[in-house]
Structures are given as structure tokens and as C-alpha cells.
Amino acid sequence: MTSPFAPFQLAGLGLRNRVIKAATFEGMSHAGEVTPALVRHHRDIAAGGVAMTTVAYCAVSPDGRTFRDQLHMRPALVPGLRGLTDAVHREGAAAALQLGHCGFFCNNPELTRRRPFGPSRALNLLGALSGRPLADAMTADDIDEVTQQFVSAARLAREAGFDAVELHLGHGYLLSQFLSPATNRRRDQYGGSASARASFPLAVVERVRDALPPGFPVLAKVNLRDGFRGGFELDDSVQLAGWLAARGADALVLSGGFVSRDAFYLFRGERPLRAMIAAERSVPQKLALALFGPLVIRAHPFEPMYFLPLAREVRKAVTIPLVLLGGITALEHLHTARREGFELVAMARALIHDPSLIARYQAGEASTSGCIPCNRCVAEMDRPGGVRCARVAVELPARTPEDQAIDRPPGRAP
């Protein structure tokens, strides 16, 4: 079996090994701009030995932002992004840009529309406290416009020096909202059956693929499960994987979770509510998080490689490259992924804790990551400095019994 440190050819892109830095919102794009902190973050990850680092959540339009301080693709952003990709390339790694649209999951005070939109009329709980509690259903013209926005954004990403794009079809953002029967209640050609619900996301992938050179990798990030009853399930994911392969996706990034319903289905481990409340800058949002956070941010016990059992079913169904993520924190996990037939792995929290981890694995200097699933890095995304490992960056006070009770997943012993 090929080593996880062996080179890999992803479409026309040569990667130096099999490890990708997963797209993790950095919180380093103040006013929607590329900042020196964002460049340093990805340069350091690249210098640490990964094959490719993924810049997280660049919206395809201003209204595609979940929050104001997110990147949104436009010609004026290209020079800043080119500086980032140049810095990554100098360290010998490739750079991918994740492209997405938030749909109805929106708390953007600069929204140009009266209300955000999605597949169907919906409550927008995230934006309720900022005066946008409702979302509209998209028209056919809206769908065509957003499809073109994905195409334009992908072209600009290539112009900015990115080596690949990752289209976000997961986590409860717009394309995921169309795929999920829980949020897509349409009765036209975009709703109803699984194939109809997938028609808009598949059109985005196909149009982007056609707009880029054949060797330029187009990855799709997809849910294995939404993580709640009535949502997108594993059988749907297996079927979607086949359709995406047929539409020209070069690789699938296998993930899970629906942020507006159960955010920590993706993260697993402790839920650092006290740290998240402290980091929240909006007083109304801080109050809402304090009151309702324990109800809507449910904790899920952490297990190593927690998405592997679900991902195996997709592996059986398709032959295109698959990227395994979720709880990959040890060198042995990289070898396990290769034995299980996954061409690539994606890591996030472990690399936030130690950007040099892959180089240290390869040099035989480490076999495990020092990252524990405390998830305090999630809270750090909302602080001025952006995402970081709170345990490395600052010496935190010991947690009180009350903190431990809040953070501990249900069923976990003290």
C-alpha cells in the first residue's frame, strides 16, 4: 500500500504527499479582505509539510457571506489572494480555495436583499436578532444567477494562483440546503426527488468544471449525513457521489453536519460554550448563545476517525479520489486511511495545534498530535486574532467543575 507521504496526482496537479489542510474558517478576513494574518496562517501550514492547504469559505457573491467579515470573490480581491498563493507555493505546497454561498444561513448586515434566500421559505434563526428572521425561496432566475457566480468565482480563483477549487455542497450552506429534504420543500424541478434536489448543486459542479482547464482540480465537499432526523442521509450521499463523479468532480471531500441544526456533529468532542460566549462580540448574540446554546449546540463524543464507517460506503460506490476527514490526529490514522483505499486525508484541528505536524510525522519525530478535542479553537475564530489553538497560544486557567459540566458530551464520565 502506498505511503501517505508518497506523491499523488490529482487531475493535473501533482501533490507532494496525501495530506490536505481542511478548510476551517480562519476569522482572519476583516472587512472581507486578505490580511497578513491570513497569509501567514496558510504559509505556516504549507511550511509544515502538507500537500495542499485550503482557504476556507470564500463566498461567490457579497450576499453569499454568512457574516460580514468573510471573503467574497471579486476582481479586487485577486491581488491579495495572489500574495497568499505565492507564499504557499514558496513553501512547496499547493493552495485550494473553498467557494460557497450561505443561502438562508445568514447574519450579514450588509445583505443587499431584503431577506436572504434558500430553496424554500424558512426561518433564519442566525439572523433573527439582526432583523432578518425569515428567508425567501429562490426563483429559477436566482438559481441561474448563483450558478454563474460560482463559475465566475472559480475563474477568478485560478487567476489568483490557486491550484484547485473546493465547491461547498455540505454543512447546511446553500447547495446543502437544496440537497437536504429537511430544507428543500420545493415542488418544481429543483425539489422533491433526490435527483431533483441535486439538480442545482450538480449544475454548479458541471458548469464550474466546464469553465476551467481539464487538468485543474475541482473538488466537492459533501455531507455523509446532515446529522439529524429527516435530513440528508448516507444513502443520499452514496447516490450523490456517483452523480458528482459523472459530472466531472475530480475528488470528493467527505464531511458531515448542518451548522444551523447541529454544528458540533462535525467537530465532535467538548463544546466550549463559555469560551464561545466570551468571544462573541454582539451583545444580543452573546445573550442568545448563553440562553439557547446548550440546546442548539449539542456535544458529540469524540472517536478517532469518526467519519470512517460512513465514508467506507462511499468508497465502495465510486472510484474517483476521496478525501477522508474527521478525527485524524495520529500517524497511524494516515496509514489506516491508505489501507482503507482513501487517496487523501484532510486534517484541521491537529494542524491548528501544530502546523509542522506532517513534517514531524514524516521525519519520525512524532506519531500523534498533541491536539485534544476541546474545540476551543472554534471560539478563537471569533476573536480578533482569528483561529488558533487556545492551549498553545495562551496559558488558560484551569476549568471549573461548571465549565467541565457544560463542555462534556452527554454520557461521558467526568
Q: Confirm whether 57 is a catalytic residue.
A: no
Angstrom distances, CA of residue 157 to CA of 81, 167, 404, 406: 8, 12, 43, 41
User: What sign does the CA torsion over 166, 27, 294, 285 have?
Assistant: negative
The secondary structure of 296-331 as a DSSP string is HS--B---TTTTHHHHHHHHHH--S-EEE-SS--BH
Position 213: which residue type?
P
User: For the chain, what is the HEC assignment?
Assistant: CCCCCCCEEECCEEECCCEEECCCCCCCCHHHCCCHHHHHHHHHHHHCCCCEEEEEEEECCHHHCCCCCCEECCHHHHHHHHHHHHHHHHCCCEEEEEEECCCCCCCCCCCCCCCCEECCCEECHHHHHHCCCEEEECCHHHHHHHHHHHHHHHHHHHHCCCCEEEEECCECCHHHHHHCCCCCCCCCCCCCCHHHHCHHHHHHHHHHHHHCCCCCCEEEEEECCCCCCCCCCHHHHHHHHHHHHHCCCCEEEEECCEHHHHCHHHHCECCCHHHHHHHCCCHHHHHHHHHHHHHHCCCECCCCCCCHHHHHHHHHHCCCCEEECCCCCEHHHHHHHHHCCCCEEEECHHHHHCCCHHHHHHCCCCCECCCCCCCHHHHHCCCCCCCCCHHHHCCCCCCCHHHHHHHCCCCCCC
Catalytic-role residue among 173, 265, 306, 361:
173
Q: Hey, which residues are catalytic here?
A: 173
